[in-house]
Chains A and B, each alone.
Chain A
Amino acid sequence: GENVEQHPSTLSVQEGDSAVIKCTYSDSASNYFPWYKQELGKGPQLIIDIRSNVGEKKDQRIAVTLNKTAKHFSLHITETQPEDSAVYFCAARWAGRRALTFGSGTRLQVQP
């Protein structure tokens, strides 16, 4: 089955700095890679996603890159703000399965 590893587990940055979270996946047949932001006591919120036929996608301060050869993908947040503080989860979907497999999460803290 699919396995997704996520690093780092915690990340602290100063307001205005960039934050990068990295994930690797095991199944080369995976074709969809979303990122979710989860605030305390709430459900995950989809913030950006990328499909396997694309190498990079950007939405304002958030970008995701995918390296299919190395089987890893990364989330980049630029000009971080205190409201970006949350737990971020990467996920992957194997081509033969509809459910997502999640990484272990990264707790991002943006210091004002």
Chain B
Amino acid sequence: GAVVSQHPSRVICKSGTSVKIECRSLDFQATTMFWYRQFPKQSLMLMATSNEGSKATYEQGVEKDKFLINHASLTLSTLTVTSAHPEDSSFYICSASGQPATNEKLFFGSGTQLSVL
């Protein structure tokens, strides 16, 4: 399958700081990337959808000013958690798809465990 690289895998930060997470498609052009959030022992909840070169579409209840998403190229999307607080601690996972390379299949990165102190 296609390879999606995400880093960092783990980050610990102080409350009030900002954290950037990168998601790269290594062997295909990702026309669409998705960002999910997962709490312990729970399912994946979609946060936002981003298409290369356009603004991200956020799910209801997700603060766009808190979770800044940039998809400036066909191989890179970033999620910045601004002014992080302990309640933002979670596992963040990106995924990507791109025609025709992935045939609309969705491949996931390895996830980023964010811990806000």
Within 8 A of A (CB), among B35-76: 41-44, 46, 49
Residues 42-86 of chain A, each 1 if its beta carbon lies under 8 Å from chain B, else 0: 111110010000000000000000000000000000000000000
**Given known contacts A99-B34, A102-B44, A46 and B110 CB-to-CB distance under 8 angstroms:** no
Bound: A70/B6 CA distance, A:
38
Tell me whether A34 and B43 are in contact (CB under 8 A): no
Answer whether residue B19 sits at the interface, using C-beta atoms and an 8 A cutoff.
no
Bound: A101/B36 CA distance, A:
11
Answer whether residue B77 sits at the interface, using C-beta atoms and an 8 A cutoff.
no
Q: Which of B95, B104, B108, B110 contacts A32 (CB 8 A)?
A: B104
Bound: A49/B102 CA distance, A:
13
Residues 93-113 of chain B, each 1 if its beta carbon lies under 8 Å from chain A, else 0: 101010000001111111101
Bound: A34/B1 CA distance, A:
14
Bound: A32/B49 CA distance, A:
18
> B interface vs A, CB < 8 Å?
1, 4, 6, 32, 34, 41-44, 46, 49, 93, 95, 97, 104-111, 113
